[in-house]
Amino acid sequence: MSRPRRDPRAERASRSVASATARPRFDLAATLSKSGRTRRDPRASFLAAQIAGHARLRIDRALRSTKAVVDPGLVETAGTEAKVRIVNEPAFTVLAVLGASNGRLSRFDRQILGAGRLLADAGEGSGAVVAVLPQAAEGLGEAGADRVLILTEDGLGDAAATTERFLALDGHVGPRNWLFAENGFGGDLARRLAVRLNQPILTDVEHLTARQAVRASHGGLREEAGPPPRLMTIQEDRVASYADRPCEARLLDAQTVSADTAEGAIIATEIIPGDPSSMSLVEADFVVSAGNGVSDFDAFGQLAAALRATPGASRVVCDAGLMPREAQVGASGTVLSADCYFALGIAGAPQHLQGIAGCEHVIAVNTDLHAAMVERAGLAIVQDAQKVMPALLHLLREGET
Ligand SMILES: Cc1cc2nc3c(=O)[nH]c(=O)nc-3n(C[C@H](O)[C@H](O)[C@H](O)COP(=O)(O)OP(=O)(O)OC[C@H]3O[C@@H](n4cnc5c(N)ncnc54)[C@H](O)[C@@H]3O)c2cc1C
């Protein structure tokens, strides 16, 4: 493809402004590049970053000061450190579809929002990331959502009915991009929506920038790359979560996406969670595990049931026949994808830790302060597990009454 050659002299002449001095002057801020994007004016950025009230020149490179307004569409709340990013007039929108099971954002959900921010913050003006999810969840603003749209107000339907709502939403909002997680929830909906919209979809995206989406092809031997398409599914742990100032997470009216329900569609009014006690460890969100430091398995069973967690165990416990083999967590057992792992009396051998590498929150109960599991844990209780279990049960029962 041949591109027309640039004429730097003509471009320079077009930016020239009248000046009283002999030196030529150019208006860089008003100039649009070939792509139509407003050029960054380094002088204006420098002025915006200056902090007033100091004799010496002080520059706020992170633009944390109150006067920093980066984009006409982007307004920042005045005041202290933890300012909220507010995009009042988004130039475009990116819809991020999240599972948010049990009303909690998973690490994968946050990565999808991170991908949305990546696309929304690039390009002309500021885009808005709209989190689309089946139920309310906490921490959406911190995870990068400018707007929130909850689909459950009149019941989340089956995949076909949800696709119809997405179709209505597509017509109503006209998003630039749709982002889905490549998992059971997002992957299915993304493909259905692509068929209904009759638009191409790029699945299993492994690398995403504002200009490029990459995925493996030919069984991983080659790479397929191109500009990010409108519909994408993203693989887990491929895109970083958003880690900047919290966004507004303004709640949108779900009525905007009401759609005629297709005949024969199944409409569910609530999501019925699976029974954690019989759930496979692979699917469990919350696992409570017993190690060699647990001797009271009666209390352990009661605690797992009271916490609505799936019971697991270390290999030593399974070898001793105290727990079934399918409960074994670790390299030669099950590798978990749970959000939270509660380890009671487990040392944290490398083979066991391999099984919980993907768990975001780990809680350990161990008598040994120097145990590897205590080091791995975000929260540790250095105490006898036989004392901690009844104490927790007591607190849980108290909370119920
Ligand atoms: C090839 C291979 C594969 C393996 N695969 C796995 C695997 O998949 N999964 C797995 O788990 N292991 C596996 N193992 C075994 C692993 O190496 C460890 O032996 C095992 O994980 C130890 O289990 P544990 O931590 O429960 O027991 P221990 O090592 O005996 O640790 C018990 C812990 O409990 C603490 N403790 C003791 N009393 C109390 C109390 N009253 N209250 C609180 N804490 C207490 C101790 O301080 C200690 O930290 C594998 C080993 C091999 C060689």
Dump the DSSP string for 285-307: SEEEEE-TT---HHHHHHHHHHT
- Residue whose entry in the numeric block shows the structure tokens 């009401």: 258
Same domain, 142 and 230: yes
214 domain-assigned: yes
Neighbours of 320 (CB within 10 A): 11
> What is residue 119's predicted lDDT score, i.e. its pLDDT?
93
Per-residue confidence (pLDDT) for residue 80, from 0 to 100? 45
Domain-embedded: residue 21: no
User: Please, how many CA atoms are within 13 Å of residue 81, restricted to the half-sphere of its CB?
Assistant: 0
Shared-domain flag, residues 248 and 294: no
Residue at 20 is within a domain: no
pTM score over 0.85: no
pLDDT in tens, the chain (401 residues): 567 777 888 877 877 777 767 777 777 655 555 555 556 677 777 777 776 655 667 776 665 544 333 444 455 554 444 588 888 888 899 999 998 877 788 889 999 999 999 999 886 678 899 999 888 888 999 999 999 998 865 445 678 888 888 998 898 889 999 999 998 889 999 999 999 999 999 999 999 998 999 999 888 888 999 999 999 999 998 999 998 889 999 988 766 555 554 555 545 545 567 788 888 999 898 999 999 999 999 999 999 999 999 999 999 999 999 999 999 999 999 999 898 999 999 999 999 999 999 898 999 999 999 999 999 999 999 999 999 999 999 999 987 77
178 and 214 belong to one structural domain: yes
Structural domain that includes position 107: 86-257
Instruction: Name beta bridge partners: 364.
Output: 343, 380
The first and second tokens of residue 224, run together, are: 């397929």
Buried b (16+ CB within 10 A) or exposed e, 24-51: eeeeeeeeeeeeeeeeeeeeeeeebbee
Rounded to whole angstroms, how far apart are CA atoms 225 and 187?
Answer: 20
Tell me the sheet residues that pair with 241: none
Q: Is residue 179 part of a domain?
A: yes
Query: For position 23, what pLDDT does the model report?
Result: 78
Residues 308, 253 within the same domain: no
> Quick one: pLDDT at residue 61?
66
Query: Do residues 367 and 248 both lie within one domain?
Result: no
- Number of helices followed by number of strands (H, E) in the chain: 10, 19
- Pair 245, 96 in one domain: yes
Q: Measuring from atom 50 of ligand 1, which residue has the nearest CA?
A: 351
Residues 330 and 230 in one domain: no
Contact 147, 89 (CB under 8 A): no
- 306 occurs within a structural domain: yes
- Ligand 1 environment, Cβ below 6 A: 291-293, 314-317, 328-333, 345-347, 349, 351-352, 355, 365-368, 371, 384-386
Q: Are residues 171 and 311 in the same domain?
A: no
Co-location of 208 and 113 in the same domain = yes
Contact 233, 111 (CB under 8 A): no
Task: Tell me which of 366, 382, 384, 386 to substitute to probe ligand 1's pocket, judged by most ligand atoms within 8 Å of the beta carbon.
Answer: 366
Counting the structural domains of the chain, the total is 3
Buried b / exposed e over 193-213, threshold 16 CB at 10 Å, is bbeebeeebbbebbebeeeeb
* Residue 60, SS3 per DSSP: coil
